[in-house]
Structure 1
């Protein structure tokens, strides 16, 4: 082969390589800047306050987590959100309780009747989700942040989502300004992404990147504070994708301040009055 023959071949090869590089760069740039049409969590430029298991940390609620009184107190103080935990009994009754067991008995493997005699710290019985929603109806200013707890099987998780959405609709609360959803179960978040994409739907476990969640249509993340402090780019990356962000459970002022500086949308806390006090100080306002 002569030099005369080689030159056109080299030129063609360089053109192909150049075109491939430009296309790859454009695709990468497009992927990084792609912003989804996800629901936003707006609180007038300030970090939103989510009372963890309601505003239980006060005498008026009898220091009872996930009690109806704790939700009522959160509503009284008009916090942006009041979080609650929802499990499903073996006879398909959604109840509001955090732990997977009550007196050593698994909630998912026992009937609702099994737990009727159990009392919370303030003397309330364990509320059914239906009873909790009756109280949620009383305020349009405090969103109910519903944590759907992981279940023992995909089928039980699907049933939990079905019954939670059915109850929310029955109480006239099926509105993105009235309820939001969070879960440690990726399967549950995937279902919610398909069933109600316009609602805030945040994944809790902290083991999936914002990019991977957004690709699956999950529009938010609510990660343990240690996860966010370990990788402070998470909030910015999530926002670049149009996702909402939250962090739990943050009870110290210095940690709250760190999250403000990262631009977090919401903070879940057992100390909502402390968080409000910090937000009310001009120097702590989120920019």
Structure 2
């Protein structure tokens, strides 16, 4: 088991416990990545959450999944093309007038509750400023007292490399889709590559996970998490396989 599973499990739980993580603040129950969703999650006892981070044009990290605001707000346009003031004029669809939260606002909710989090980097690794964004993200998490209570994750492993190079001691997760891995042998190769670049956790699409992959990650000393099973049978299978953590929209079913 990796560091993430250990900190999510907490001292009162057995080392082999599977941690249930509320995906985007339990998006199957509440409006994704809204402050109200995270507050509801914490109130329901889901103290491990996952959320996504983009940067605005004026370099403010905000909690939103997509590159654009089109799907989740009453506005249109790319997050990276908007200043925070532009974003503040928009409202999250399905809420009573909520705005896209800043990272700082969300951490102000999570920290006093003792929550832990998977923080997913959604800003691409190619544009100028990527490494500066990674540094700014690390700075804010440290200043909020969350360094030991988060893992920073990314599908683009260049972001994992960028955070690792900061030397801040963050737990790091490389995320893969099922098509990116081929059984236990693929898991071994991925785990070894992840360790080379400073990562400690592998986040894998749940449908690709089997007993061989679980065993391979354990043998390589890399933590394994599953995303995003939402049906009770799939959640039960992940727990039976012994994955370290499960990201789900429906933590109530787990």
The TM-score with structure 2 as length reference comes to: 0.82
Matching of residues 1-287 of structure 1 within 5 Å:
39=3, 41-42=5-6, 43=9, 44=14, 45-58=16-29, 63-103=30-70, 104-120=76-92, 121-122=94-95, 123-140=97-114, 142-151=115-124, 153=126, 155-174=128-147, 176=148, 178-196=149-167, 198-206=169-177, 207=180, 209-229=190-210, 232-275=211-254
Q: 2: distance between equivalents of 1:80 and 1:136?
A: 8
Higher relative contact order (CA 8 A, sep 6+): 2
Which structure 2 segments of 5+ residues have no match?
71-75, 182-189
| Aligned alpha-carbon RMSD (Å) | 2.1
CA contact (8 A) 2:174 2:202 kept: yes
2:135/2:163 contact within 8 Å kept: no
Is residue 4–residue 150 contact of structure 2 (8 Å, CA) maintained in 1?
Answer: no
2 CA distance for matches of 1:125 and 1:259? 34
SS in 2 for 1:105: coil
Matches of 1:161 and 1:135, distance apart in 2: 22
Q: Is the 8 A contact 1:39 1:243 kept in 2?
A: no
TM-score by length of 1: 0.73
Change (3 A) 1:156 1:228: farther
Runs of 5+ unmatched residues, structure 1 = 1-36, 276-287
The alpha-carbon distance between structure 1 residues 180 and 40, as it changes in their structure 2 partners (threshold 3 A), is: closer
Segments ≥4 residues shifted beyond 4 Å: none
